[in-house]
Structure 1
Amino acid sequence: MNYRFQNLLGAPYRGGNAIITGNTRLISSVGNRISVTNLVKSETITLPCQFSSNISRIAVSPDGNFILAVDENNRSQFINLHRRIVLHRITFKGKVSALEFSPNGHFIAVAIGKLIQIWRSPGFKKEFFPFELVRTCADFDDRVTCLKWSPDSGYLLAGSRDLTARMFCLKKLDEKKNNKPFLFLGHRDVIVGVFFGLDNKTGKILRVYSVSRDGALFNWGPNFDGDMLDPPSPGTPERMDEEGGVAAKDDNAIEKEKKRKEFDGKDFEDEGSEILLHKIKWELLKKDYFMQAPAKVVACDYHQGLNLVVVGFSSGVFGLYQMPDFVCIHLLSISREKITTASFNDLGNWLTFGCAKLGQLLVWEWKSESYILKQQGHYFDVNCLAYSPDSQLLATGADDNKIKVWNVSSGFCFVTFPEHTNAVTALHFMANNQSLLSASLDGTVRAWDLFRYRNFRTFTTPSSRQFVSLTADQSGEIICAGTLDSFEIFVWSMKTQRLLDVLSGHEGPVHGLMFSPTNAILTSSSWDKTVRLWDVFEGKGSVETFQHVHDVLTVVYRPDGKQLACSTLDGQINFWDPFEGSLMYTIEGRRDISGGRLMTDRRSAANSTSGKYFTTLCYSADGSYILAGGNSKFICMYDVAEQILLRRFQITHNLSLDGVLDILNSKKMTEAGPLDLIDDINSDEEEGIDKQTRGKLGLDLPGSTSNRGRPVIRTKCLRIAPTGRNFAAATTEGVLIYSVDESFIFDPTDLDVDVTPEAVDAALNEDQPSRALILSLRLNEDSLVKKCILAVNPADISAVASSIPFRYLQRLIEALTELLEGSPFLEFILRWCQEICKVHGHSIQQNSKNLLPTLKSLQKAITSSHQDLADMCSSNEYTLRYLCASSVKI
């Protein structure tokens, strides 16, 4: 019941900027959520806060504590990054094209249309009016495209679509004087980036760089010729000495150089002697061109410490240049699609690139020319999921013909299999945890080796078929797959790769297929309104048929094999006894799954009949409840014994997806249809992001004009981890991981005035480890339980384990599991596990149903520790041999 959102996997990067903060964390947008990737530990998390639509811009405070993000509906959230909570919210009155924190963290510059607004940055305090607008700059004639603060937070550079860049002085925000910006003219296309160039020795601002979309980089410098308030002049040329032919400077040039030296030596902190940069005449020193026509510059960044400029082009090429000499260091292509973001980290050794068309994020170290991160989500909808038996891995298959295998704890994809030529429709992990099966619409069933990362078996049929369901028996010897077109079930041998049998009898697509966990009976469900049981090993064919009134969409067994559940087209979940062949009970779920209205629907969500059924089911690890999902924004959790709805999970609040709103806004309805579905002819093709046409199995096919590529929210697959600690949902947004909340929970009925943390410490001081451990288990405070476990003498583990009552055994095993995942005392914790199994083995066997999720979590932790230790020993094999040989000689 206590599942909460934990992570988002497999979702593509859809646009916006990406930022590296603290040189270790990559912050990027994934739809309407924010993803944070630790580049050192190779871990990624997704913040639980959601936006009303896809995120367009992100800014991070200089200290890395806060994130300010804005979505496409101009709604912004101010987020505490470490606590992962939203502190403040604000809605801007226009489209936000750029935003950036000042280097001192006191202000935030926001570009809204033609305006630049300077807001005072809020902090940790809860305030009624956290955002304070201190200044508005309205000097541009077209939309502002980029912003850049000076290192001292006193000046702001801004570029616009009116082909100009301006420098604003913000040293005295409350004063009206000296606020007229300096104007940089000369570009012939939209300004993409503006930057301050610094002197590495003095840290003074000596240059201004501006980059336009046509591939021009202008280098501006201060001009001290004449009055400083006059407009810029081209300067005075040098005269050649007639005798020696050496360039000599006239009096004006000497005076100009003197003023420049005075400018370099001024103390900016002294207000009386300060030279205002926007009052200096800036002249164009140099023009440089990237020479990548017809490609356009769409992203750029500048590193002040290294004087490096990185630019990304619409052709997928990026360039790295040393300034101010404009020396090309790298010019490489990372894709054939437009690069939508390019940025440096703080040290300047890593480059971050994003490609929204491919859903790809890259972090590249330019000195060693190696990848730090290369992650790409599924471009189309995820169709199927499969947990490994130890719950450490999660495999996903999608409409982009790819299979990805993810590490659940880190959230990283470590292998991608692209061999399928059509959509992947079903996945199944083998019991040995070393191989994976996949079925596809390309007519093949493939087996993958997760050690060597290769396809070692390919199962085919005499004539081409489209497979939509897949399963294997407990031994892994028999492989079965159901078809979409011929309504047959094909049976192969894993060892010989031969086709053993073809099971015929269904009169519709076989969308559900599963072996019984306790015997060799194969169960299949079909759109022909039947569920059939097959005896595959004896060759008897169909042995029993369960008739239904409507089409059967999927079937699933309870983990103990004593019950099977199937969903039908009328929105019901039917529970059958597979041994008696009788219907046990039925859950009516039409009202529970209903919700959300498509843009093209002419009826409200309450009156519509479409989508009110479950397409995927999944039992919990102990079989007490069942999860159900379908073409809706909800995932329903039911109690099987009581047939009641326990909880509904709303998978997203993203209004960029179709089917999220229950009631449509009549203001957006026109004679031509909904306003959101009408193409904007005047939109800028260079800056726009192409809409994805979703899925080969969905309703919105490529080329379909029903919703013009607007993704429809749906849940295609649900799977609960064998440990029962988390479950995964394959949705339009990606793969959502929900985990059990591990917050501090205690039972008030098990407490009295003597059960306190002080009593636990007193028992430990009196050398009573058994009493201290029981008291901590009664308090159920995680830190105290772990403290008492570690305080036990290794020789006393057996005696302490035997004194623990059985009702606290589950909590004790959970604490040992957490210690095993993070404690260095491996042998000590394993000895605890061994003694518990010896002392309470009979009780555990009798209550295996209730303890099964906890025991599988312990198994997962032990397997992970064993694998890490094996990898460490393997990588240090020769060092260990040398040390052993040296010790023998000594």
Structure 2
Amino acid sequence: MNFRFQNLLGAPYRGGNALVVNNTELISPVGNRVSVTDLIKSRNSTLPVQSSSNICRIAASHDGVFLLTVDENRRCLFINLRRRVVLHRISFKNSVNAVKFSPDGVYIAVATGKLIQIWRSPGFRKEYFPFELVRTFADFDDKVTALDWSPDSNYLLAGSKDLTARLFCMKNLKSTNKPFLFLGHRDTIVGVFFGVDKKANRVCKVYTITRDCYMFSWGFKGNEDESDEMEEDASEPPSPGTPDRDGEGNLEGDDSGNVKKRKDYEGKDGDLDEEGGYFQGGKWELLRKDNFVQASAKLTACDYHRELDMVVVGFSNGVFRLYQMPDFVCIHLLSISREKITTAVFNELGNWLIFGCAKLGQLLVWEWRSESYILKQQGHYFDVNSLAYSPDSQLLATGADDNKVKVWTVSSGFCFVTFSEHTNAVTALHFMANNHCLLSASLDGTVRAWDLFRYRNFRTFTTPSSRQFVSLAADQSGEVICAGTLDSFEIFVWSMKTAHLLDILSGHEGPVHGLMFSPTNAVLASSSWDKTVRLWDVFEGKGAVETFPHTHDVLTVAYRPDGRQLASSTLDGQIHFWDPIDGLLMYTIEGRRDIAGGRLMTDRRSAANSSSGKFFTTLCYSADGAYILAGGSSKYICMYDVADQVLLRRFQITHNLSLDGVLDFLNSKKMTEAGPLDLIDDDNSDMEDGVDKQTRGRLGFDLPGSMPNRGRPIVRTKCLRIAPTGRSFAAATTEGVLVYSIDDNFIFDPTDLDIYVTPEAVDAALDEDQPSRALLLSLRLNEDNLIKKCIFAVSPVDIAAVAPSIPHRYLQRIIEALADLLENCQHMEFILRWCQELCKAHGNSIQQNSRNLLPALKSLQKAITRIHQDLADTCSSNEYTLRYLCSSNSKK
């Protein structure tokens, strides 16, 4: 039962800004979670931390230790990235549009509404008030949209929706000096950046980029340089940028409204005084104004790399451009999608460009010098409907409403192939026993077979007239394929080899939403909304051989792995367990109260008083059949003990308040006659950006009671699958595919423990050169590290003698330890020899107790298969080197 959240698949990016820490770790928000991608090792992981709603802004400290996340509810989390824990929390009063750490890590600048707040960055210590507000700048007339720090953390540059950019001095935060103004913009400022003069090796440039595709370059000139220039040309027109101020920050203006500069300067160029800093004794002027030339498109994302002096910009039409400054030379122009680019950033070295498209769920890492992709991931556009684990548990296939089938590597969290031949929603998936063939059923009336070697659709199963398929099953031999329909209430049977239609099973009077073959024979079980579960003998062609009646619509059906029990879920929230051999009802679990929880935003009552029905739409047995997982129209996944019919654990799949059905209690102050206040949108920012708010797709076969809620996604679990190894399970939810796994390192579950079974006794046995006794003691303690230590203490010559002395009841534990060692250890031959001797010595016991040992054996098979594939790939890529070495050795 010790399942813990491990990763989130199917949604690499959902919006907000992405960033890169330590030059190779890509951090991106995914809903209310944070995803971390190692671009060198090609591994993706998700932090176990959840925000209260969708994350809109993130920022990381310069050393990559701390991460700051701000969600749509203005709640901020201060996270230790290395430990993956939340250190501090704070809430802001207004929406946050930008946040950034200072380069020295002392301050955090937060653009909250029209204000800029400077907070002292907290550390590792637990404090009552970890965040200290140092200064608030309230100089803007509209929302602050962009921030940037100078490299020495002495200046802060900010851009706003009021068409101005301002320069603030951080030298003396108690000073009342007014900021410098940069004027002349005609649209919202998207990005502001400090530039470096390479000749003078100091910051003396400012770049401001606006939404109407213009870039302003500003230069700073000291007192002496400006005096010489004024003597040469006294009639030069005034700069559109606001000039310098005196010590009190006052301005002088002429009758025409232009601001002119006073003659009395205090401080010289480069001098850092306490009041104004080294930008006090000079003036800013507009050097040039450049247009990015993107007709009918808006600039939506930008970033500047200070060392390379390069600018990358992304537009609302999916195009991005890369420019070399200060000459504004376009190096690259590429279209990556047709949707708005929502984030564009450089990595620390500047050799990689990171782009994100929120509407498509797309995340790209592009190396601009070689013009090649480092990473290219795209999630499902709509909700995931179905899941399927490969027999070795290494792959996970997902099908969704966006007509696509994706196959993911579970260990890395990456999608390596996408099949898009379906023309309607994918509703069911099934992996064949050979691990290299995947089946998918769709509402477009086809069942397709995919080759995972050549990545192609090698077979398509169709019907004489168009049908909509919502369920799929294949027998153990892989010779027969069955699919249930939504519209005609029939089950179609095809031959896998010839793709010919063999039979049509009729008898159901409602949509056939559940199909599954018995693991031990060729009996097919089907569930339908006509309140029945039917058993079919497909090969004999006798039709339905057994019918199990229910009092409510049957939503899904599942066989226990030994084939001696059948579980079905009904619309009234109950799970019925049947004996498929005798045709008798064994027992029933009342699960309505277990799955209940969460209210819709439009409900005028709390979740406890809600009249909307809760039910399970997906069931899945564990690998040994001891427990069953159930999920449905709720924020909970329930785990039941099958033998005792008791609830073992409830998993809450999300705490994201941006989804509907998460809140339990009703706040009457937020309810009005027109509906809840949260659904009344008084901000037209989305329409200003030219992007409509994205709503979820909704299929025609949604269950009763699943009413739409004005585009707000409703939390639910559409599919559950347990890995054949039994060490993890995946849930297709509204947020994506959640993967939970078991971590045995933290479990202490001893067997036959007494006062003489201690870690000291294990060490003493090893010192006395008794590896067999030490291994038995460690197995009785059931501590992972001790078991592995004792395994390595046995010499390769003695493995054949030690393996038969292991009692049968410890076989599962030692097989699990060997499987874990194969995954993470370099001594492959030593571990494989252990596996071989165990199979020789305990072959009969393993065969007799195969049901209980199945999860451990599947884990071992998965590890051996992965090693075999890695060795095969390494040998094939070094074939000629190996031939040369072999030939040279034979000659010697």
TM-score (structure 2 length as normaliser): 0.93
1:565 alignment partner, SS class: strand
Aligned equivalent of 1:326, options 320, 328, 352: 328
* Farther-moved stretch of structure 1 (773-782 vs 146-155): 773-782
Q: Does residue 204 of the first structure (1) align with residue 213 of the second (2)? A: no
Could you list the per-position Cα deviations for residues 216-263 of structure 1 after superposition, in whole angstroms to 9, with x for gaps in the alignment? 1111111335799x9x99885499xxxxxxxxxxxxxxxx9xxx9x97
Matched letter for residue 199 of structure 1: D
Paired position in structure 2 for 1:79: 79
Paired position in structure 2 for 1:295: 297
Query: Structure 2: how far apart are the matches of 1:402 and 1:227?
Result: 63
Query: Structure 2: how far apart are the matches of 1:695 and 1:125?
Result: 46
Could you list the per-position Cα deviations for residues 438-477 of structure 1 after superposition, in whole angstroms to 9, with x for gaps in the alignment? 0000000000000100000000000000000000000100
Matched letter for residue 760 of structure 1: V
Query: Structure 2: how far apart are the matches of 1:855 and 1:601?
Result: 49
Query: Structure 2: how far apart are the matches of 1:60 and 1:42?
Result: 21
Q: Does the aligned pair in 2 maintain the 1:386–1:719 contact within 8 Å?
A: yes
Q: Does residue 149 of the first structure (1) align with residue 149 of the second (2)? A: yes
Query: Structure 1: how far apart are the matches of 2:169 and 2:356?
Result: 33
Query: Structure 1: how far apart are the matches of 2:749 and 2:12?
Result: 43
Aligned equivalent of 1:180, options 178, 181, 186: 178
Query: Structure 2: how far apart are the matches of 1:758 and 1:202?
Result: 67
Aligned equivalent of 1:813, options 807, 815, 821: 815
- Residue 740 of structure 1, CA deviation: 1.2
Q: Does the aligned pair in 2 maintain the 1:267–1:273 contact within 8 Å?
A: no
Paired position in structure 1 for 2:97: 97
Q: Does the aligned pair in 2 maintain the 1:621–1:724 contact within 8 Å?
A: yes
Q: Does the aligned pair in 2 maintain the 1:677–1:707 contact within 8 Å?
A: no
Relative to structure 1, the CA distance from residue 272 to residue 494 in structure 2 (aligned partners, 3 Å threshold; closer, same or farther) is closer
- Residue 332 of structure 1, CA deviation: 1.2
Paired position in structure 1 for 2:188: 190
Q: Does residue 114 of the first structure (1) align with residue 110 of the second (2)? A: no
Query: Structure 1: how far apart are the matches of 2:281 and 2:729?
Result: 61
Relative to structure 1, the CA distance from residue 404 to residue 233 in structure 2 (aligned partners, 3 Å threshold; closer, same or farther) is farther
Give me the identity figure in percent.
78
Matched letter for residue 426 of structure 1: A
* Farther-moved stretch of structure 1 (831-840 vs 272-281): 272-281
Paired position in structure 2 for 1:360: 362
- Residue 810 of structure 1, CA deviation: 2.2
Query: Structure 1: how far apart are the matches of 2:274 and 2:170?
Result: 17
Relative to structure 1, the CA distance from residue 238 to residue 774 in structure 2 (aligned partners, 3 Å threshold; closer, same or farther) is farther
Q: How do 1:852-871 residues align onto structure 2 when only pairs under 5 Å count? A: 852-871=854-873
Paired position in structure 2 for 1:785: 787
Q: Does residue 646 of the first structure (1) align with residue 648 of the second (2)? A: yes
- Residue 602 of structure 1, CA deviation: 4.3
* Farther-moved stretch of structure 1 (692-701 vs 618-627): 692-701
2:744 alignment partner, SS class: coil
Query: Structure 1: how far apart are the matches of 2:751 and 2:864?
Result: 33
Matched letter for residue 321 of structure 1: Y
Query: Structure 2: how far apart are the matches of 1:504 and 1:147?
Result: 66
Query: Structure 2: how far apart are the matches of 1:431 and 1:234?
Result: 83
* Farther-moved stretch of structure 1 (186-195 vs 805-814): 805-814
Q: Does the aligned pair in 1 maintain the 2:313–2:321 contact within 8 Å?
A: yes
Query: Structure 2: how far apart are the matches of 1:572 and 1:505?
Result: 24
2:40 alignment partner, SS class: coil
Matched letter for residue 818 of structure 2: L
Q: How do 1:32-47 residues align onto structure 2 when only pairs under 5 Å count? A: 32-47=32-47
Matched letter for residue 11 of structure 1: A
Q: How do 1:171-570 residues align onto structure 2 when only pairs under 5 Å count? A: 171-173=171-173, 175-176=174-175, 179-200=177-198, 203-224=201-222, 236-237=232-233, 266=270, 276-570=278-572
- Residue 556 of structure 1, CA deviation: 0.5
1:78 alignment partner, SS class: strand
Query: Structure 2: how far apart are the matches of 1:624 and 1:88?
Result: 41
Query: Structure 2: how far apart are the matches of 1:567 and 1:638?
Result: 13
Paired position in structure 1 for 2:52: 52
Aligned equivalent of 1:726, options 723, 728, 746: 728
Q: Does the aligned pair in 2 maintain the 1:611–1:630 contact within 8 Å?
A: no
- Residue 578 of structure 1, CA deviation: 0.4
* Farther-moved stretch of structure 1 (750-759 vs 357-366): 750-759
- Residue 715 of structure 1, CA deviation: 0.7
Matched letter for residue 103 of structure 1: P
Matched letter for residue 72 of structure 2: E
Query: Structure 2: how far apart are the matches of 1:781 and 1:525?
Result: 44
Relative to structure 1, the CA distance from residue 279 to residue 14 in structure 2 (aligned partners, 3 Å threshold; closer, same or farther) is farther
Query: Structure 2: how far apart are the matches of 1:785 and 1:688?
Result: 61
Relative to structure 1, the CA distance from residue 779 to residue 744 in structure 2 (aligned partners, 3 Å threshold; closer, same or farther) is farther
Query: Structure 2: how far apart are the matches of 1:224 and 1:79?
Result: 42
- Residue 782 of structure 1, CA deviation: 2.6
Relative to structure 1, the CA distance from residue 850 to residue 684 in structure 2 (aligned partners, 3 Å threshold; closer, same or farther) is closer
- Residue 741 of structure 1, CA deviation: 2.8
Could you list the per-position Cα deviations for residues 135-156 of structure 1 after superposition, in whole angstroms to 9, with x for gaps in the alignment? 1111111111010011111111
Relative to structure 1, the CA distance from residue 801 to residue 281 in structure 2 (aligned partners, 3 Å threshold; closer, same or farther) is same
Could you list the per-position Cα deviations for residues 781-804 of structure 1 after superposition, in whole angstroms to 9, with x for gaps in the alignment? 333322222232110111222222
2:687 alignment partner, SS class: coil
Q: Does the aligned pair in 1 maintain the 2:726–2:855 contact within 8 Å?
A: yes
Query: Structure 2: how far apart are the matches of 1:769 and 1:77?
Result: 50
* Farther-moved stretch of structure 1 (801-810 vs 338-347): 801-810
Relative to structure 1, the CA distance from residue 272 to residue 601 in structure 2 (aligned partners, 3 Å threshold; closer, same or farther) is closer
Paired position in structure 1 for 2:253: none
Q: How do 1:572-651 residues align onto structure 2 when only pairs under 5 Å count? A: 572-651=574-653
TM-score (structure 1 length as normaliser): 0.93
Q: Does the aligned pair in 2 maintain the 1:233–1:283 contact within 8 Å?
A: no
Query: Structure 2: how far apart are the matches of 1:397 and 1:822?
Result: 31
Paired position in structure 2 for 1:61: 61
Q: Does the aligned pair in 2 maintain the 1:144–1:159 contact within 8 Å?
A: yes
Q: Does the aligned pair in 2 maintain the 1:15–1:689 contact within 8 Å?
A: no
Query: Structure 1: how far apart are the matches of 2:701 and 2:12?
Result: 20
Relative to structure 1, the CA distance from residue 791 to residue 234 in structure 2 (aligned partners, 3 Å threshold; closer, same or farther) is farther
Query: Structure 2: how far apart are the matches of 1:328 and 1:362?
Result: 20
Query: Structure 2: how far apart are the matches of 1:412 and 1:681?
Result: 36
Q: Which runs of 5+ in 2 are unaligned?
A: 236-260
Paired position in structure 1 for 2:252: none
Relative to structure 1, the CA distance from residue 633 to residue 540 in structure 2 (aligned partners, 3 Å threshold; closer, same or farther) is same
Paired position in structure 2 for 1:26: 26
Query: Structure 1: how far apart are the matches of 2:536 and 2:707?
Result: 43
Paired position in structure 2 for 1:249: none
Q: Does the aligned pair in 2 maintain the 1:817–1:861 contact within 8 Å?
A: yes
Matched letter for residue 208 of structure 2: S
Paired position in structure 2 for 1:123: 123
* Farther-moved stretch of structure 1 (13-22 vs 838-847): 838-847
Matched letter for residue 390 of structure 1: D
Query: Structure 1: how far apart are the matches of 2:389 and 2:749?
Result: 32
- Residue 61 of structure 1, CA deviation: 0.9
Q: Does residue 847 of the first structure (1) align with residue 849 of the second (2)? A: yes
Matched letter for residue 776 of structure 1: S
Query: Structure 1: how far apart are the matches of 2:548 and 2:280?
Result: 82
- Residue 691 of structure 1, CA deviation: 3.1
Could you list the per-position Cα deviations for residues 338-377 of structure 1 after superposition, in whole angstroms to 9, with x for gaps in the alignment? 1100000000000011111111111100000011111111
Paired position in structure 1 for 2:664: 662
- Tell me how many residue pairs correspond in the alignment: 862
Query: Structure 2: how far apart are the matches of 1:511 and 1:272?
Result: 73
- Residue 577 of structure 1, CA deviation: 0.3
- Residue 681 of structure 1, CA deviation: 5.5
Query: Structure 2: how far apart are the matches of 1:44 and 1:484?
Result: 37
Query: Structure 1: how far apart are the matches of 2:211 and 2:569?
Result: 55
1:685 alignment partner, SS class: helix
Paired position in structure 2 for 1:829: 831
Q: Does the aligned pair in 2 maintain the 1:700–1:706 contact within 8 Å?
A: no
Matched letter for residue 721 of structure 2: R
Relative to structure 1, the CA distance from residue 761 to residue 688 in structure 2 (aligned partners, 3 Å threshold; closer, same or farther) is farther
Relative to structure 1, the CA distance from residue 378 to residue 622 in structure 2 (aligned partners, 3 Å threshold; closer, same or farther) is same
Query: Structure 2: how far apart are the matches of 1:700 and 1:544?
Result: 28
Relative to structure 1, the CA distance from residue 135 to residue 792 in structure 2 (aligned partners, 3 Å threshold; closer, same or farther) is same
